[in-house]
Amino acid sequence: MMKNLQSIKTLHNGVEMPLLGLGVFRVEDGQELIDAVKNAIKHGYRSIDTAAIYENEVGVGQGIQKGIEEGDIARENLFITSKVWNSELGYEETIAAYEESLAKLGLEYLDLYLIHWPVEGKYKEAWKALETLYKEGRVKAIGVSNFQMHHLDDLMKDSEIKPMINQVEYHPRLTQKELQKFCRKHNIQLEAWSPLMAGQLLDNEELQEIASKYGKSVAQIIVRWDLQNDVITIPKSTKEHRIIENSNVFDFELTREDMNLIDLLNKNHRVGPDPDNFDF
């Protein structure tokens, strides 16, 4: 049930993941980041998503500690995600990268660890490392990011454990319907990064019309659209009022008609790299 910010989705291994979290992509390490994470926790967020390549795990960790202390919240009630970067995709390298992320975050375990990009010829070894970490109980859930259907097919051919999550670029200009259908079929939960299309959708006229109808912001309409499409989402913001605003999406419901109108904005347009054609 989507009742509030603590609403969860149960992944295929039984682990509960919050439907809505805070993303920290392109947020520099430092006080602004620490405050953003702390404030998110203060205002009811329980899920924080970072990655090794963001180079901000230290600040995220400090924000988490402050959020735990000031909110008197148990670590077990938070859901923390990080990701292994392309240069560390190998069995030993990935295990070492996990250790390093934990050390920077100041945590004893992660709730979710993802392979950040499907680097050809490398992600299978990395996946074996994630399976090991998972089987040893060192991470609660494992998954991938930016994987297309053929990458998932290829990975699952040789894997013991199916990914629990596929985190991809997902917003009204990139609705990923085929990929979502595929993930549903295989019980892999879809998660959205850049749900607001890096802010580019906030002045979209169609979305503004829908937003005014509900007395909501465009950002709230998009986040709600994600959730009603059964997609976990992690909008990014460092401003406290925006962090609060992005989470005020549990007191209304988009009609089927408005959901369809938003779907029609799709142009298969990416603001991030193409998972089939990247060179980093």
Tell me which H or E stretch contains 17: strand 16-18
Q: What is the mean pLDDT for each group of 10 consecutive residues in the chain (280 residues)?
A: 91 98 93 97 98 98 98 97 98 98 98 98 98 98 98 97 98 98 98 96 97 98 98 96 97 98 98 96
- Domain ranges, ordered by start, for the chain: 8-263
Overall residue count recorded for the chain in this entry: 280
Which CATH number does 8-263 carry?
Answer: 3.20.20.100
Q: Which of 54, 98, 123, 134 is catalytic?
A: 54
Q: pTM of the full predicted structure?
A: 0.97
91 is catalytic: no
**Cα–Cα distance list, 78 to 110, 148, 173, 280 (Å):** 10, 29, 31, 31
Mapped onto helix, strand or coil, the DSSP state of residue 246 is helix
Structure tokens at 276: 């089939």
Using the structure block, give the residue that is written with the tokens 């202390």.
69
Q: What sign does the CA torsion over 136, 140, 145, 149 have?
A: positive
